[in-house]
Chain A
Amino acid sequence: MKKIYFDHNATTPVAEEIFEAMVSYLSDEWGNPSSIHWAGRAPKKAIDEARENVSALLNCTPQEVIFTGSGSEGNNLAIKGTVFSRKAKGNHIITTRVEHPSVMSTLKYLEREGFEVTWLDVDTEGMIDLAQLEKSITPKTVLITIMSANNETGVILPVGEIGRIARAHKVLFHTDAVQAAGKVPLNVKDINCDLLTISAHKLYGPKGVGALFVKRGVRVVPIIHGGHHERRRRGGTENVASIVGLGKACEMALRDMDEVSSRVRALRDRLEKGLMEKIPYTTRNGHPENRLPNTANLGFEFVEGESLLLNLDMLGIAASSGSACTSGSLEPSHVLIAMGIRPELSHGSVRFSLGRVNTAEDVDYLLNKMPPIVERMRSMSPLWSAEEGKRAEISFEEKGH
């Protein structure tokens, strides 16, 4: 069976050159990078180089990079680590309703622990209102955490402006850049952020490793206590091979981003335009311009998105309804609901997220296979028949006049 992967926002295939770079740290160079002796030397050097590669992608210093075990861990450390260290100053946090679960659940936990959280609304295109953000800031506000780009819709949030507002009010700003990294330029100086999260497996690197940028001078208390690792901010012997993979992924992202992004954008546009032309009653979810070049989130009316995904899977086409849930089951998207998308339409929404391995043939395969599936599914829907009836009447009237 053909296998076509349109789910790069969930994870990406590990690039050959990244795999090659990692391998020796799972075999010959097995030493502990903290050791003073010969065995630790090569792993230590590899970690240092990886840290430099990460800092180059983000335009920060290597000392401002903390390696983590995942994007979720990075978000947890950024949020808990800063608000716990600022309890004396205040207990108010500002975020949006469209964050990743690792931010949302962390904040809900903190709400139960006595913190106050302002959840900013988004408009129908997934954008926040900067004036509303600024108005929400109080003397008690200790952190603003807002994602750089949304995982479901690809909508890019105005992090540069958010950073300026945060700085003007002397509030820390964290951005979850897990989806944005490698797809659009990320420069912590331009963004004006104090903390920024990335994850390797969205960048053609391995799972189980990420990094958190923490601006020099920003205090973060650890959530994993341990030894002196990562400047005492994250305990645990370094996952050397994976860190090497992350470093290589950042190097690759910096090197290839422009070329890959423009190629992927063209494919995404071909896919989106094609589906919207071939399948009536299809709408785009999210801002038309301000979004990642690889993501298309489309709503197909009168169709259950879950069934559509299963049908596509049986043809070897991998797509998703938004976020991959732990149990593998699908829930209505909190992102689309926050955008005010009608529940019926959000149930019929599918996310296609493309990547460097995709080709025009992949897109055309989808454009050939998907319209008949939607047509068949709609033919079974009573709502669709009613709609068809209405349309037939209208065209009859038009002919009559």
Chain B
Amino acid sequence: MGNTVNNRRVVVAMSGGVDSSVAAALLKEQGFEVVGISMQLWDNSSEEDAGASTPGSCCSLEDIHDARRVADTLGIPFYVVNFEEPFSREVVDYFVESYTRGETPNPCVKCNQVLKFEVLLKRALELDARYLATGHYARIERDESDGLKLFKGVDPEKDQSYFLFTMTPAQLEKVIFPLGPLTKTEVREHARRFGLRTAEKKESQEICFVDGDGYPEFVSARAGQREGEIIDRYGNVLGSHRGLFRYTVGQRRGLNIGGAGGPRYVLAMDMEANRLIVGPEEELLTSGLEAREFNWIGDVPREGEKVTAKIRYRHPGVASEVILAEEGKVRVTFSTPQKAVTPGQAVVLYRGDVVLGGGWIERAIKGNVGQ
């Protein structure tokens, strides 16, 4: 007992998908004492509609069932822990508040940050585990300075390091990502080799706690909605909107403003006036951004150093310069203007494959950021 060198116990966060299933199987094969845990995070069913389910979302009861069946196949202990309360408080409330502030939230980052790497990691350590493992495509490795660094996953299509920028040094010590060196194709091959029922399972893309009606109904049911005007940058009223939370920067569809001048895109929200500001595509371009609550995992870029900034998960990244501002804020200047910088999403900085850090986008900056 105790966290000795001989302790081979690893808790694997099992979502019921192919990735975490294979993570568990690989660790078992490597001789670890694997314990599977699924987090029960959200339950839409009530007594009135008992038996009704929310299909297709991560962490649903069906997924927990799959996780349990995989654990049975692997012959490992498996537990379900009920984290509905912290999930509702830390992820769902944040999600709604973010929209009501005119931002576009990223609940997956928040779920990793709080549920996986705080609440579940604590649970794993209470179980005397040496590590918590997840099915993320990212790598944690020691660099020359002997500090642990977070790296992109090997599969460029699947790299999920963007979602992990909030990790702290203490978390890097205690977390492992068995899928970091693998491609998705290889993971599926392993799943077939282990005979896992999740081998051909589709990826879940939706937000796990939002059902068929989509997020706008979810948010309006909790926060209410206030109609307002749609304007252009010059203040001309072009139409009306049905609550600012229904829109995201860069969005074109669903504005219902016909008229001349070509397609228009959401540029920004004016929360105080409750107005949605739209404009032509070229006005989406900005030269930089300011981010808050910045977390540095690696070292801070040198003055004038060009690092790569990713401003959303599927963003290819842009060469940028970085200036530290007050109160954990960071200003990023792109070498070429970028479209649709979206407040509420994360900006994550890379030097090559190494994650340097990341923060939450507060606002886009037009013009020359450095001055």
Contacts and interface: CB of A to CB of B under 8 A. Distances in A.
B122 A327 contact: no
B126 A377 contact: yes
Interface of B: 1-2, 35, 40, 47-48, 61, 64, 68, 77, 79-82, 122-123, 125-128
Nearest to A306: B81
Given A314-B77, A376-B1, A307 B82 contact: no
Given A105-B47, A327-B64, A376-B2, A307 B123 contact: yes
Given A304-B126, A314-B127, A109 B77 contact: no
Given A306-B82, A310-B79, 13 more contacts: A108-B47, A306-B81, A306-B123, A311-B126, A328-B79, A329-B40, A329-B82, A330-B81, A330-B82, A376-B2, A380-B122, A380-B125, A380-B126
Interface string A148-177: 000000000000000000000000000000
B346 to A, nearest CB: 28
Contacts of B40: 327, 329
A327 B61 contact: yes
Interface of A: 105, 108-109, 112, 304, 306-307, 310-311, 313-314, 327-331, 372, 376-377, 380
Nearest to B40: A329
B127 A307 contact: yes
A330 B68 CA distance: 16
A109 B49 CA distance: 12
A190 B190 CA distance: 65
B125 A311 contact: no
B5 to A, nearest CB: 17
Contacts, number: 44
25 contacts: A108-B47, A112-B48, A304-B123, A304-B126, A306-B81, A306-B82, A310-B79, A311-B126, A311-B128, A313-B77, A313-B79, A327-B40, A327-B61, A327-B80, A328-B79, A329-B40, A329-B80, A330-B81, A330-B82, A331-B82, A372-B1, A376-B1, A376-B128, A380-B122, A380-B125
Contacts of B61: 327
Contacts of B77: 313-314
B132 to A, nearest CB: 14
Contact of A311 (B68, B82, B127): B127
Given A108-B47, A310-B127, A314-B127, A328 B1 contact: no
Nearest to B122: A380
A177 B215 CA distance: 47
A100 to B, nearest CB: 15
Nearest to B2: A376
Contacts of A377: 126
Contacts of B64: 327
A310 B68 CA distance: 16
Nearest to B80: A329
The 9 closest A-B pairs by CB, nearest first: A307-B126, A329-B82, A329-B80, A329-B40, A328-B80, A377-B126, A330-B82, A310-B79, A310-B127
A309 to B, nearest CB: 9
Of B35, B61, B126, B127, most buried by chain A (CB within 10 Å of CB) is B126
Contacts of B35: 314
Contacts of A329: 40, 80-82
Contacts of B79: 310, 313, 328
A378 B3 CA distance: 15
Contacts of A307: 123, 126-127
Contacts of B48: 112
Nearest to A328: B80
Nearest to A327: B80
B130 to A, nearest CB: 14
B278 to A, nearest CB: 46
Nearest to B11: A310
B129 to A, nearest CB: 10
Contacts of B68: 328
Nearest to B125: A380
Contacts of B126: 304, 307, 311, 377, 380
Contacts of A310: 79, 127
B189 to A, nearest CB: 31
A358 to B, nearest CB: 23
Of A304, A310, A377, most buried by chain B (CB within 10 Å of CB) is A310
B100 to A, nearest CB: 29
B106 to A, nearest CB: 26
Contacts of B123: 304, 306-307
A254 B282 CA distance: 86
A331 B122 CA distance: 18
Nearest to B35: A314
A101 to B, nearest CB: 10
Contacts of A105: 47
B1 A109 contact: no
Contacts of A311: 126-128
